[in-house]
Amino acid sequence: MTQLTLKINGQSHSIDADPDMPLLWAIRESVGLTGTKYGCGVAQCGACTVFVGGLPVRSCSMPVSAVGADEITTIEGLKSKEALAVQKAWVKLDVPQCGYCQSGQIMSATSLLEINAKPTDRDIDLAMNGNICRCATYVRIRAAIHDAAKSLEG
Amino acid sequence: MIYELRKRGTSAMNIRSQNSSVATELPQAIARMSVEDATRLSRRSILKTGAAGLALGVYLARGGKAFAQQPPAASINITPNTFLIIGSDNTVTVLCKHIEMGQGPFTGMATLVAEELDADWSQMRADHAPSNPGLYKNLAFGVQGTGGSTAIANSFEQMRKVGASARAMLVSAAAAEWNVPAEEITVENGVIRHSSGKEGRFGEFAAKANQQPLPENPKLKDPSQFKLIGKEGVVKRLDSAAKSNGSAVYTMDINEPDMLTVLIARSPRFGGTVASFDASATKAIPGVVDVKQVPMGVAVYAKGFWAARKGREALKVTWDDSKAEKRGTGQLLSEFRMLSNTPGKVVKEEGAVDAEFAKGGGRIVEAEFVFPYLAHAAMEPLNSYLKWDGEKVVSRFGSQFPTPDMAVMAQVLGVKPENIDLKTILAGGSFGRRAQQTTHIAFELASVAKAIGPGPGVKVVWTREDDMRGGYYRPFALHRMRGLVRDKKIVAWTDTIVSQSIMKGSPFEAMTMKNGLDATVYEGSNEIPYDVENFRCDLHQVEIGVPVLWWRSVGHTHTGYAVEAFVDELLEAAGIDAVEGRLALMSKKPRHAGVLKAVAELSDWKNAKLAPGRARGIAVVESFNTFVAQVVELSMTDDGPKVHKVWCAVDCGVAVNPDIIRAQMEGGIGFGLGHILYADIPLEDGRPVSGNFDTYRSLRINEMPEIEVTIVQSTEKPTGVGEPGVPPIGPAVANALAKLGLKRPRQLPMVPGASV
Ligand code: FES
Ligand code: FES
């Protein structure tokens, strides 16, 4: 067990953890932020997506000790205008069904809009195909990303 | 166990057997009756006991425990308070007797209540009802539970009455307060008004309304007066916001102080048992608290998931496989093939099918269709939570079938059912998996709690691999079909099915199977929507040691494919158009014909000009009394079929929430498509091979087609939409491939070995 300090959503958390433990469990169980989900544990589904140093990572496959001093952002800490536009579009188009994958979807969609203000369908395919939705809400995910991009045009 | 169920189920079955062949999913099979039958029945029993249907306020007074976390202090429980809580802040919370697992009952139930209550949609909220079969039974089952796409069907009248009663009581309270006749009061968008200019909101009158008598038979609106039901753009899902900001709480998110996370080492082969185990290395892992043998394996109790997982990895278990299933799917397939060439037990026979084939002439078409085991693989792997002190039990999880789940917990823990506070919470999908004929999830949870004894709460977590290799699959199935086409007519049809029963060996066997045959295996194959004079459907119901379960649309997952791919092939052999040909054979099936025509029109089936390399296929399947037809347009790529667009027509009676119906069609199509293209759980020497999404390929966004849905206008009673979107997509894809000059795939998945 090792003492580690994680900076999550602007707050510092000291935790005592196995250095090999995936970041996912530190976020969910040590810190108690449960919006980030466990879906596969092997970087296949994207349900565990968070930002580390501003970039999306699969937290199920990153050892907690590898984070270092990088800032972590979870679904609970989203603040950028892109993130808010994405969340608004998700509600407007009633994207979620069971909802379990949607934190991960929203993290990936936010990241896409932060680097590409006007994504094409192909850009969306490339950015989002690491996120599985077993309820297959993909039609609305695509529509909501376009909708969010449009709303950001002002 | 589950006496209540058995009793109701038996009587219900008699009613059902006079009816047609709808009985399908367990809950339906338990009840074996239509919603109307059940409603009549329950009304009768209400009359008998003298309890007015909605005057259930006693429940709170007597057993407030189930509401430990609600209602909030400020709110007042207006009768019928078992379904409705009106807060002093004017919010109206509907307690939903069905599990919200994505299919939308929170929004659906609230729509029905709000319509008759004349509430404003913005004041509506929803939460799960606690477990109490007396109050919250599914009127189609007689027990509390969700399945068979029954939520809206069984609640349509009941929830509207709840809203209408509450409205009448609020009006009476306002009339008394203002000293005016109730008839002069109107209610609109959550505002109660009198012509004198007096007005108020629900919150102000909730307490006084609670003192008013419950209307005997509240008047319901004429459909022409509906403002929410069937309307576009007014009703939004109640759970979208919480599911878009990370605040929605699922079983996986339960994080109680002192709670232990439990992972179980289960036999790699179905039916294997623990011969011996060595937990010394496990116990040395920091965070591991205890290790116990339980009926389903060896349980590792730890502080958190990671310690439990490391602990389980360090565990050494020797399994006794003497009773385990050791056949692989290759061997099963050879056995199925042999059987399928011999006559099975006849499910349905009409005309003189053998004589017709013997006559000679015409063209005989033969086909064998093979369907793999499939896992539900809901996004949230299985899990459950329970805490007990030796007497009282608190349990929270996505229980899709609370009444039997509660019964088995009571039995294992030796407590009275009334001492169990079970509340269903949001489930991250299910597709049937969270309701089991064996109640094994609840049994496992209670066994794990019992093994370590009263005290800290236990959360049993299944890893993705546990979930995927844990059985309860869509059964492996084979259909051997034979058809005869003469003079441009289909004159004979046989379908020999080989598969495993879902009900057999379960506590429900006695009441759910007819002549020893399980309807969930043949539903859809025994009654095809086409006029074929000489017809036979027979079944070999085989015994395999692999646990199987209903999987989103149950038997229709394979019978829909077999029937619709085969009829298309026969029509092709007869040289008749797929739409015209089907319609000509549907003389007794107007609703099938209705969706077929609707989808043909929507997709411009007749005249559409397709790009080179593209082709279209069509299929129509009824399941759970809902009719769905789909047209696909696809092309072929190195990675298998690429579906560009799907047109879908659905007839589910009165459409309560059009946008949720569309969403369920979209989701059903994507779910169905992913599985017919890619999914398979092969067994090697009895061991499931696929364990995660790298070997059980799931549809991804780049594989999702564009989808256009039309809802056929109908005044028929509403029926469900959670499952019926799934069956037509597979055969529609197969039929489009045939148009490209390829063969209709005979064995699923269409892209074998499809690991990413
Ligand atoms: S849980 Fe991390 S990618 Fe699936
Ligand atoms: S909404 Fe259920 S998995 Fe995506």
How far is A149 from A123, CA to CA, in rounded Å? 12
Region B33-225: CATH code: 3.30.365.10
Alpha-carbon distance of B592 to B597, in angstroms, equals 9
Q: CB of A121 within 8 Å of any CB in chain B?
A: no
Give mean pLDDT, residues A18-38: 98
**How confident is the model at residue B153, as a pLDDT?**
87
Helix or strand run (H / E) with residue B104: none
Domain positions in chain B: 33-225, 251-322+382-461, 329-374+472-739
> Could you tell me where the DSSP H helices lie in B414-479?
440-452, 464-468
- Among the partner-chain residues B252, B377, B429, the one whose CB lies closest to the CB of A38 is B252
Within 6 A (CB) of ligand 2 lie A 96-102, 133-135, 137; B 102, 379, 429
Query: What integer pLDDT is reported at residue B6 of this predicted model?
Result: 26
- Write out the two tokens for B421: 């506070």
Q: What is the pLDDT of residue B280?
A: 98
Asked if A29 and B305 come within 8 Å (Cβ–Cβ), the reply is yes
E strand segments, B280-362: 288-294, 297-302, 316-320, 345-350
* Top CATH class, B329-374+472-739: alpha beta
Interface of A with B in 125-154 (CB under 8 A): 125-126, 128-129, 131-142
Q: Block means of pLDDT (10 residues each) for chain B, length 756 residues?
A: 26 26 29 30 26 23 26 41 85 93 95 97 94 86 85 90 93 96 97 96 91 88 96 96 97 95 98 98 98 98 98 98 98 98 98 96 97 98 97 96 94 95 95 95 98 97 98 98 96 98 83 86 97 98 97 98 98 97 97 98 97 98 97 96 98 96 98 98 97 97 98 95 97 98 97 69
Nearest to B701 among A36, A95, A141 (CB): A141
CB contacts under 8 A, A 33-92 vs B, are: 33-42, 44-45, 47, 74-76, 78, 87, 90-91
Domains of chain A (ranges, CATH numbers): 2-77 (3.10.20.30), 81-153 (1.10.150.120)
Q: Which of residues 657-676 of B touch A (CB under 8 A)?
A: 659-660, 663, 666-671, 673-674
pLDDT by residue (tens digit) across B625-638? 999 999 999 999 99
Q: In what order do the strands lie in the sheet with A11-17?
A: A11-17, A2-8, A71-73, A49-52, A55-58
Closest ligand 1 atom, CA of A130?
3
Q: Quote the pLDDT of residue B67.
A: 26
Which ligand 1 atom is nearest residue A37's CA?
A: 1
Fold classification of B251-322+382-461 is: Aldehyde Oxidoreductase; domain 4 (3.30.365)
Do the first three CATH levels of B251-322+382-461 and B329-374+472-739 match, i.e. the same topology?
yes
**CA dihedral sign, ordered B77, B80, B83, B86:** negative
With beta carbons less than 8 A apart as the criterion, state whether B116 and B164 touch.
yes
Answer yes or no: do A29 and B101 touch at CB < 8 A: no
The three-class DSSP label of residue B199 is: strand
**For ligand 2, what atom is nearest to the CA of residue B378?**
3
Inter-chain touch B255–A102, beta carbons under 8 Å? no
The verdict on ipTM greater than 0.85 is yes
Ligand nearest to the CA of A105: 2
From A49, A95, A102, A139, the mutation candidate for ligand 2 (largest count of ligand atoms within 8 A of CB) is: A102
CB contact under 8 A, B701 and A142: yes
Please give the torsion angle defined by the CA atoms of residues A135, B751, B552 and B409, in that order, rounded to the nearest 10 degrees. -90
Which pLDDT tens digit goes with each residue over B205-231?
988 988 888 888 899 999 999 999 999
Instruction: Sort residue B377 into left (φ over 0), alpha (ψ -120 to 50) or beta.
Output: left
Q: Flag if A87 and B249 touch (Cβ within 8 Å).
A: no
Q: What is the pLDDT of residue B511?
A: 67
Q: How far is B456 from chain A (nearest CA, A)?
A: 16
Close Cβ partners of B66 (under 8 Å, ≥ 6 residues apart): B130, B131, B132, B421, B423
Residues in chain A: 154
Closest approach atom of ligand 1 to CA A44: 3
Ligand 2 pocket test target in A49, A137, A139 with most atoms within 8 Å of CB: A137
The minimal CB distance from B236 to the residues A36, A94, A141 is found for A94
Cβ contacts (< 8 Å) between B463 and chain A: which residues? 41
Residue to mutate, A45, A57, A134, ligand 1, most ligand atoms under 8 Å from C-beta: A45
Give pLDDT, residue B755. Answer: 55
Average per-residue pLDDT for chain A: 97
Contact status, residue B578 vs residue B564, Cβ threshold 8 Å:
no
Q: Tell me which chain B residue has its CA closest to the CA of residue A132.
A: B700
The token pair that represents B371 in the structure block: 């369907």
What's the gap in Å between A100 CA and the centre of ligand 2? 5
